Amino acid sequence: MSIFTGAGVAIVTPFNEDLSVNYDELAKMLDDQIAKGTDAIIICGTTGESSTLTVEEHSEVIRFTCKHVNKRVPVVAGTGSNCTQTAIELSKDAETDGADALLIVTPYYNKATQQGLIDHYTMIAESVSLPIIMYNVPSRTGCNILPATAVKLAKTVPNIVAIKEATGNISQIMDLAAMADGCIDIYSGNDDQIVPLLSIGGKGVISVLSNVAPSQTHDICAKFFAGDIEGSRKLQLEAMNLIHALFSEVNPIPVKEAMNLLGWNAGPCRRPLSPMDASNKEKLIAAMKEYGIL
């Protein structure tokens, strides 16, 4: 059984002005996402600025989210690290604190070999009983999980069950789907490729767009699964300008700006992420207005 089908939100971590975690606002965001149909909460991923959370904050944000969501939808905890042992410790903590699954990014900076990736993921998976989604985003990590590697892990490690594909390389993802033949669930890691990945058997999306358009992103998936391919395609294409605006600067700078524009207290990003460029902010505002959410 899949961890979830549909749209999982890669939710932002709201900060106060002093850059401490704003737990009151996070609780409101979680409730709003669930009320608007989001199918899963992905906490402490890239969009959640996991790389600038301390180890203690990282675990506390996951713990808080699991407790607040209280099994209303699955909570997928981002517990990856470029240090295998750190990832193991974060993953064990997340399991203890009630996470339903783990999202494990490829080890960044180290640039592991394919055998190194197999060892890394196997060691993490063997330390916990939770199902694991591998997160393949070579543009950020400098490390690419090749299709044969993903399939080998899925076939040999029982709790490695899915992959978040954020390569943007449709040909590679097609090869993965063909080689896997259903042995691994595929989630789109790119909001501009939801429908294409669903069309080759994908289970859904781990979405930045869902932060500002949860109902619409849910419906892209729900319509597809209900057989309304044309309706799903229409919603995907209508969102394209907004999606481009949300990635006009490195994620999560634009989406946090968008959340603040919508009246949420998402706060600033932590450095080294900087405030959004004024011209890109204007484009973001225009795209949000065109899409009808501002």
Cα distances (Å, whole numbers) of residue 260 to 25, 112, 246, 256, 266: 12, 37, 13, 6, 6
User: Which own/partner pairs from 112-116 qualify as long-range (CB within 8 Å, at least 24 positions apart)?
Assistant: 112/143, 114/145, 114/146, 114/148, 114/149
**For residue 56, which amino acid is it?**
E
The tokens for 65 are: 């989210």
Cα distances (Å, whole numbers) of residue 165 to 15, 136, 168, 194, 288: 28, 5, 7, 11, 26
108 is catalytic: no
Check 135, 187, 203, 281 and give the catalytic one. 135
**For residue 17, which amino acid is it?**
E
Q: Read off φ and ψ for residue 4, nearest 5 degrees.
A: -160, 160
**Whole-number Å distance between alpha carbons of 77 and 133:** 10
Check 121, 152, 164, 291 and give the catalytic one. 164
- The CB density around residue 287, as the number of other CB atoms within 10 Å, is 22
**Whole-number Å distance between alpha carbons of 187 and 164:** 5
164 is catalytic: yes
Could you list the active site residues? Answer: 135, 164
